[in-house]
Amino acid sequence: MTDVRKVITLNRLRAQMLDETISPAQKKYYLDLAQWLEQQNIQTAEEATHSIRNTPYYDGAALAKELDGIHLRIKAARELGFKDVEELYTKRYDKLLSKGLKEYAFSQEWIDGYNQAQKLITRHLQEKEIFARIFCNYVRIAIIPEQKQRQESIKNLNKALEDLEKLDVSFSELVCNKVFTQLTMTTEDGLKHFIDFIEKFQKSGIVVDTKDRDQLKKEQKRIGQWAKKNASKLMDVGKLEQWNRASCIAVPSENSVGYDFIAMKEVKG
């Protein structure tokens, strides 16, 4: 086997090890390079290195790796429901593909695009964090009978709604997006009750009690006593629980300080 044949075989092995759904550009690069080398009249690895110097294959591996990194970010943004982030990364992908690594990846336009994406992501994460606070305090208000703790939750709910207003986004906008409503993990009726509660609270600033607090206290006490009585059974059931884990992809961070870990799918474990 000649040196160049070994190089061809190595590139095909590299392509074989890459998942097309995760690294499509890199997989294509190594397959194309192997095919191109087969078509050249060269025998040694040194000749192969020299022959690709003035071809797109010379920096093609770096370009393909960067394209795959953006590809994963597009996919992650889509799954998270960040449409504006997905659109921005799609534009970055297309520009990198058309302009190339040297012209685009080291330009101010590239840096500006990265900063813009970070701002959008930060904003969406802030929205999610505030929405979670709104829902958590709603739940506390609904189930906690102690007046002092309820008042604290009402105060926190007010603060969360104020923080949302500072972002110039309304609660009604967020609940129209399933990305946010899925965070509640509640039923359709439960979600409707949550939305109605918050909308009424925003209008009046008052929490109207519709439940008997004394009855709620009795119910909590009853559940607590039952849990103590059946503690051993609960522990046995807990031991049967199986936890899953996420299969993650490590993508080199654009700011060169490490890796971004993107959860692609849940796997049994």
Residues 66-93: tens digit of each pLDDT: 999 999 999 999 888 889 999 999 999 9
Q: What contacts 117, CB < 8 A, 6 or more positions away?
A: 73, 85, 88, 89, 92
Whether 210 shows a pLDDT value over 50: the answer reads no
Q: How confident is the model at residue 14 (pLDDT cuts 50, 70, 90)?
A: very high
Residue pair 70/78 in contact by the 8 Å Cβ criterion: no
Q: Please state, in angstroms and as integers, the Cα–Cα distance from residue 40 to each residue in 29, 30, 171, following that order.
A: 17, 16, 63
Higher pLDDT: 94 or 255? It is: 94
Residue 130 has pLDDT above 90, yes or no: yes
Last residue of a domain, one of 27, 58, 89: 58
Number of separate domains in the chain: 2
Residue 73 lies in a domain: no
pLDDT of 267 reads 52
pLDDT at site 248: 58
Check residue 191 and report its DSSP letter: H
pLDDT band at 96 (very low <50, low <70, confident <90, very high): very high
Residues 135 and 38 in one domain: no
Residue 145 above 80 pLDDT? Answer: no
Question: Same structural domain for residues 132 and 53?
Answer: no
pLDDT in tens, 218-266: 666 777 777 778 778 767 766 665 555 555 555 555 544 444 555 555 5
What integer pLDDT is reported at residue 4 of this predicted model?
A: 83
Range of the domain at 19: 1-58
Taking the C-alpha atoms of residue 171 and residue 216, their distance in angstroms, rounded to an integer, is 29
**Looking at residues 4-31, what average pLDDT do you find?**
91
Average pLDDT, the chain: 82
Within-domain flag for 77:
no
**Which pLDDT score is estimated for 67?**
94
pLDDT tens readout for residues 162-209: 999 999 999 998 988 888 888 888 788 888 888 989 998 988 877 755
Q: Element (H or E) spanning 263, and its range? A: strand 259-268
Among residues 10, 30, 58, which one ends one of the domains? Answer: 58
Top pLDDT among 121 and 260 is at 121
Pairing of strands 259-268, 244-252: antiparallel
Closest CA to 160 of 144, 179, 139, 176: 139
104: which DSSP letter? I
Residues 222 and 139 in one domain: yes
Confidence of residue 133 (pLDDT cuts 50, 70, 90): very high
Asked if the structure places residue 71 within a domain, the reply is no
Write phi, then psi, for 241 (nearest 5 degrees). Answer: -70, 135
d(CA 5, CA 37): 9
pLDDT at 43 over 50: yes
Judgement on whether residues 132 and 208 belong to the same structural domain of the protein: yes
Residue 269 belongs to some domain of the structure: no
Whole-number percent of the chain with pLDDT over 90: 37
